[in-house]
């Protein structure tokens, strides 16, 4: 299950909807190209299963782990270093702002959808990444971060 306590809480937007930003580590038995895996996420998880929110390969730098970065999708990849590790795993950042559903309930739904996605692939599994381990500069206890907030309200230490 996606744990809200291990996620970055996104501040309420103009429409009054709060959200969450989290990173999922996907692993498969064999190596695979990360960008091809993102195509599978789009086709199978979003188009076929109907998951909500936005996703993008997780950034290498914690300063880029923002909703704006995730919302940009894969369209701007040339200047954005991504977090790569092993040839059989990929880290993907997700941002979600549920409409008409409580945030934790939406995260529970997305967790089931991730289970279904991995079952469709047959050789994949997922787990929520520990953000402070991936990005030591992140403090999940701090106030939510938004691109237009002053540095004093930033989620980074």
* Tens digits of residue pLDDT in 62-109: 888 999 999 886 555 445 578 877 889 999 999 999 988 899 999 999
State in Å, rounded, how far the first CA of the chain is from the last one: 27
% of the chain surpassing 70 pLDDT: 84
Is there a contact between 79 and 152 (Cβ–Cβ < 8 Å)?
no
Residue 133 in this model has a pLDDT that exceeds 70: yes
In this prediction, residue 142 carries a pLDDT of 64
pTM confidence score: 0.84
In this prediction, residue 143 carries a pLDDT of 53
Quote the distance between the C-alpha of residue 88 and its chain's center: 18
- Report the phi/psi class of residue 147: left, alpha or beta, with left for phi > 0 and alpha for psi in -120 to 50: alpha
Quote the distance between the C-alpha of residue 73 and its chain's center: 11
In this prediction, residue 23 carries a pLDDT of 97
């Amino acid at each position: 299950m996606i744990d809200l306590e291990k996620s970055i809480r996104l501040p309420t937007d103009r429409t009054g909807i709060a959200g969450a930003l989290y990173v999922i580590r996907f692993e498969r038995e064999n190596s695979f190209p990360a960008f091809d895996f993102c195509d599978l996420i789009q086709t199978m998880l979003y188009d076929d299963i109907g998951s909500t929110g936005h996703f993008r390969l997780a950034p290498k730098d914690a300063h880029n782990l923002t909703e704006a970065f995730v919302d940009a999708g894969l369209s701007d990849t040339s200047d954005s270093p991504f977090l790569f590790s092993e040839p059989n795993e990929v880290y993907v950042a997700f941002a979600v702002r549920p409409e008409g559903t409580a945030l934790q309930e939406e995260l529970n739904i997305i967790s089931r959808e991730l289970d279904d996605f991995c079952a469709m692939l047959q050789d994949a599994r997922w787990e929520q990444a520990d953000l402070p381990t991936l990005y030591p500069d992140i403090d999940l206890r701090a106030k939510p971060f938004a691109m237009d907030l002053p540095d004093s309200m930033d989620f980074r230490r």
